[in-house]
Amino acid sequence: MRAAVIEKHGGPNEVKIVELDLPRIRPNEVLIKVKVFALNRLDIWTRQGMPTLNLSFPHIGSSEFVGIIEKVGDEVVDFNLGERVVINAGIACRRCLQCRSGDHTLCAKFKMIGEHIWGGAAEYAKVPWTNLLKIPDSVKLIDVAATSLTALTVYRMLKRANFKPGMLVLVVGAGGGIGTMAVQMTYVLGGRVIAITSSKEKELKVKELGAELVINYKELPNWGREVWNYSKNEGVDVVLDSTGEIVWEASLRSLRKGGRLVTCGATSGGLGKTNIHLVFWKQLSIIGSTMASDNEFREAMALIFSGKIHPVIDSTFQFNEIKEAHERQEDPNHIGKILIQIED
């Protein structure tokens, strides 16, 4: 099979398409013929190398992909050849106390497809059947590929925030994959959205997705003051953040008393400055969130399958354009998801 691999860490030029043997599935796994996969910031970090990541090369990336079942293991139930499926990229042991309680993301052996083990940037990929969900015939594969990972991530963030309809939610970094999904999902579920982004083009797109106030932080570096004024000097109920360091302090100051900041990433760096006096005086909550449980995955995807949430696609590349796709993912001007189609 053809696979987009890295054989060492580095820039986009390190991603190469090579021929590899088909993955051999275990009894609890299925072999998927990949049709479309997406890139995320995680693919850039994996390619560049992270201090905590010890990869075996060659490595196949992509944690977000859809395809058709080509082969099933002997222990697989409820899935058949030819069915269209999407994956939940979080791999758990499914035996420990946390897994048995239903929260697989807290498993001590938790791993990510595409990060710790081979992902979907190839013609074929193997996945445990417990990580699959069937895609209705009425839904386009490309739409699911553009929304699955971000939808489950944002859905869990909102649950961790104890989100309720009517809440005022601040989304920072609103132009990326997580950000556009956070704006759209919060709005669809009945929230009010303030969005922070970086360009006129992104402002227009985020406004279309449901944000009632959009602030360009390049034009208004003291954007926290704008948020505070708009909230009538009360602050927002929730901050959804995947940006980290450069927005951390202003995000905390934007919260009302008892407010909650939920973070799922740190694209600008992981050493945000925290004013501890502010945290205890305003009784703020700082909450981490990673991926989603099986139930959250199904509930998030139901929003996609129902058509209530639509994909935000920046650009679509062919498989032999994988280097260009990585370059576009690194471009701060991209809006929404970068997709790669694999032709038969």
Q: Which residue type is seen at 301?
A: M
Determine the pLDDT at residue 269: 86
Question: What b/e sequence results for 258-268 when a residue is b if at least 16 CB atoms lie within 10 Å of its CB, and e otherwise?
Answer: ebbbbbbbbbb
Query: What does the pLDDT look like over 188-218, one tens digit per residue?
Result: 999 999 999 988 999 999 999 999 999 999 8
Which residue in the block uniquely carries the two structure tokens 């449980």?
293
Contact indicator for 200, 299 with CB cutoff of 8 Å:
no
DSSP-assigned letters across all residues of 13-24? GGEEEEE-PPPP
Contact 183, 210 (CB under 8 A): yes
pLDDT in tens, 170-189: 999 998 899 999 999 999 99
Domains defined for the chain, CATH in brackets: 2-146+311-341 (3.90.180.10), 153-288 (3.40.50.720)
Sheet with 2-6, edge to edge strand ranges:
15-19, 2-6, 59-60
The model's pLDDT over 277-332, given as tens digits with 9 standing for 90+, comes to 999 999 999 999 999 999 999 999 999 999 999 999 999 999 999 999 999 999 98
The sign of the torsion formed by the CA atoms of 247, 153, 301, 135 equals positive
Residue count of the chain? 344
Average pLDDT, the chain: 95
Whether the per-residue pLDDT at 43 is higher than 90: the answer is yes
267-291 pLDDT, tens digit per residue, is 888 899 999 999 999 999 999 999 9
Q: What is the pLDDT of residues 28-37, one digit of tens each?
A: 999 999 999 9
Alpha-carbon distance of 64 to 207, in angstroms, equals 26
pLDDT for the residue numbered 54: 86
Please determine, for residue 343, whether its predicted confidence score (pLDDT) is greater than 90: no
Q: List CB contacts of 179: < 8 A, sequence separation 6 or more.
A: 171, 172, 173, 195, 197, 206, 242
pLDDT band at 344 (very low <50, low <70, confident <90, very high): low
Is 284 in contact with 303 (CB distance < 8 Å)? Answer: no
CA distances, 163 to each of 199, 207, 259 (Å): 28, 21, 11
User: Is the pLDDT at 253 greater than 80, yes or no?
Assistant: yes
Here the tokens at position 96 are: 């420990």
